[in-house]
Structure 1
Amino acid sequence: MLKNFISIPTIESGLYMFGGHKHTVNGGWSFFEQKHQVFEVMVVTDGSQLTSIRDQGSITLGPGDVIIIAPGTLHTNSNISKIAPMTYMCLHFDFEDVQLRSQIISLISNKLIPANSQLANVSYDMLKEIINLCRDKKHTSDFNVQVEIEILLLQYLKQVNLLIKKEYSHNSSLPFSNKEAQISRDLVIAIENRVNNDDEKPSFNFSDLCKELGISSGYGHRVFKKVYGTTPLHFIDREKYKKAQRLLEYSGNSIEEVAYMVGAANISIFSKQFKKWSGYSPSEFRKQIIRKRSVKSKNRTGYFE
């Protein structure tokens, strides 16, 4: 008989972040309408910002105010003042946990989070600490620094989860059923297996996966978007990007071979898509890896506005 047996759970955080920065902009500044298939947390530190969300309206953010923009949300940001500068901090991020993702999307995203709230305070502190870690550009690619940044984001997600349970417990029902959550998870596993199994055909359709699971592609698409807050196509693209990144970094395959292995129709399409994902062309990305390996630092995954 086993005694004092303590099991460690399987954990898939799927932590991903990009495009974080602190920026002071001039009076009259605005950024064109955009959307991301990940979360964006933004805090204004000085001045006033107008965030306009398609089909929802506009939100005014002053110093200390925060907004968490949900995946797939079309929005524009602008400096309300035509003369005075404005400063903000932001970070784009994503993670695996289905329940917390859905709660953030349904309960706190695309709304004003006022400066005097606990959620605004923990958001401000997280971004400020990450920005401070990145002040010395020479070390932002160092492994230790990147681990510290990941820890700060994970601690932030933990705090957000606790605050949601504390402040929204009366309205915390999820907008999907257990069955829908399981179907979406099955689709994620199927996508990951198809993308990462080199014995499978590198090009596949989402409808094929749905057929294997005995559901229609329309139903699969709706359920996946409801649970994960992103489209199946974007998730497939993200998995292919991660595979392409690994192959370019660690394998001796040519760029053309990598393009085939991730299911791209040709090298031109692959190059355009990879640049969209990472900010680099495949050849530029590989050069960056070689250069950064020479100084023994961790690979950069790209920058997005």
Structure 2
Amino acid sequence: MQNFISIPTIESGLYMFGGHRHTVNGGWSFFEQSHQVIELMIVTKGHQLTEIKDSRVVDLGPGDAILIAPGTLHTNRNADNHKKMTYMCLHFDFEDVELRSKIIGLLANKLIPAQSKLAHLSEKMLNDIVDICKDKVHRNDFEVQVDIEIILLQYLKQLSILVQKIKGHNLPFTDKEAKVGRDISVMIEDWVNNDDMNSSFTFSDICSNLHISSGYGHRVFKKVYGITPLRFIDKEKYRKAQRLLEYSGNSIEEIAYMTGAANISIFSKQFKKWSGYSPSEYRKQILHKRTVYSKNQTGYFE
């Protein structure tokens, strides 16, 4: 019998937005767009044409799905000028960079046929979330949001199992490039979260430490992970700022310094761009959520 069993640190960073089911009229189209997250679309009735810029047009019929890679310019339109079409979509992101790169490299920007296991899993996941969200009164309740997160996490688990079963080396990057991308991401995470490091480091500093050029590092990282290294650094700094605002007693000025901002004004502007809240508004919101009330309306917990 083991005397000590370690429980891993888990920080999923699950994020989703813009999810919906929609029935549109004949001739419907949506302007060219791109996102810094993965977008899942499924057609349940009719036909949709998804045009990937500088690539091809993907024709999605009932039950067909597509996973659109981050940063991909694309347009969607109803293939029929007269008949209605129904589709479901969800934009999502998560912290596991290895699974993210495999989804982008192996599955993204191509037709996922209705008869495939992935299409079935994707449609079930979105239907389950849509069913939960039909209750407009409670869909923003904590318990409901946890249920939605569980459904998406279970879907990501199944995605991970599926990509591991894909045979052949179909990834758009070599094993060497995958290692370089991983080395860059690990060093960024370490440097952002190590308070002994100079928090105002640049991507050139990372590449210099890995003995590669900035241009090569940028190209490889974007190829492997689908986002630029600068956006990845920003994301890691935002997560650190969130944690410090939520759990530390540091002042906002100290947190600005710890995340590499030149001054508190720049940090406040950047944090509002990230979250939609100023640092002080965000901290007040978190403190309010942690307030609990007893019979005499008092009480607080961390």
Normalising TM by the smaller chain, what interval?
A: 0.7 to 0.9
- Contact 2:41/2:87 (CA < 8 Å) preserved in 1? no
Structure 1 window deviating more from structure 2 (32-41 vs 230-239): it is 32-41
Matched, 1:246 2:243: yes
Corresponding residue to 2:19 among 18, 21, 25: 21
CA distance in 2, matches of 1:279, 1:181: 34
Cα offset for 1:266? 4.1
Residue in structure 2 matched with residue 57 of structure 1 by the alignment: 56
Indicate the RMSD between aligned Cα atoms, in angstroms. 3.3
For residues 152 and 211 of structure 1, the distance between their equivalents in structure 2, rounded to whole angstroms, comes to: 41
Deviation at 1:163, TM superposition (A): 3.6
**Alpha-carbon distance in 2 for matches of 1:63, 1:272:** 44
Whether 2:155 is the aligned partner of 1:156: answer yes
Letter in 2 for 1:42: M
Q: Percent identity?
A: 57
Structure with larger Rg: 2
Name the CA shift for 1:281/1:200 in 2 (closer, same or farther; >3 Å).
Answer: same
Deviations, residues 69-109 of structure 1 (Å, cap 9, x unaligned): 112212233445667464423131234152x4343223321
Alpha-carbon separation, structure 1, partners of 2:251 and 2:192: 18
Given the two structures, how large is their TM-score scaled by the length of structure 1?
0.78
Alignment of 1:190-229 (within 5 A): 190-229=187-226
> Which residue in the other structure is 2:298 paired with?
none
Aligned-pair CA distance for 1:183: 2.8
Which secondary structure does the structure 2 equivalent of 1:56 belong to?
coil
The CA deviation at 1:14 is 4.2
Classify 1:4/1:204 alpha carbon distance in 2 versus 1 (closer, same or farther; 3 Å).
Answer: closer
Distance of 2:219 and 2:88 partners within structure 1? 34
With normalisation by structure 2, the TM-score equals: 0.79
Match of 1:74 in 2: 73
User: Do 1:165 and 1:172's aligned partners in 2 also have CA atoms closer than 8 Å?
Assistant: no
Number of aligned residue pairs: 290
Equivalent residue, structure 1, for 2:299? none
The match for 2:300 is none
Q: CA deviation at 1:25?
A: 5.8
SS class of match (2:71): coil
Q: What is the CA distance between 1:146 and its match in structure 2?
A: 4.5
Instruction: Quote how far apart the aligned CAs of 1:283 are.
Output: 4.1
Q: Counterpart of 1:240 in 2: which secondary structure?
A: helix
In structure 2, C-alpha distance between the alignment counterparts of 1:25 and 1:254, rounded to whole Å: 48
SS at match of 2:290: helix
Distance 1:128 1:24, change over 3 A: same
1:119 shift after superposition = 1.4
**CA 1:39–1:256: 2 relative to 1, 3 Å:** same
Higher relative contact order at CA 8 Å, sep ≥6: structure 1 or structure 2?
Answer: 1
Q: CA separation in 1, counterparts of 2:282 and 2:23?
A: 29
Instruction: List runs of 5+ in structure 1 lacking aligned partners.
Output: 297-305
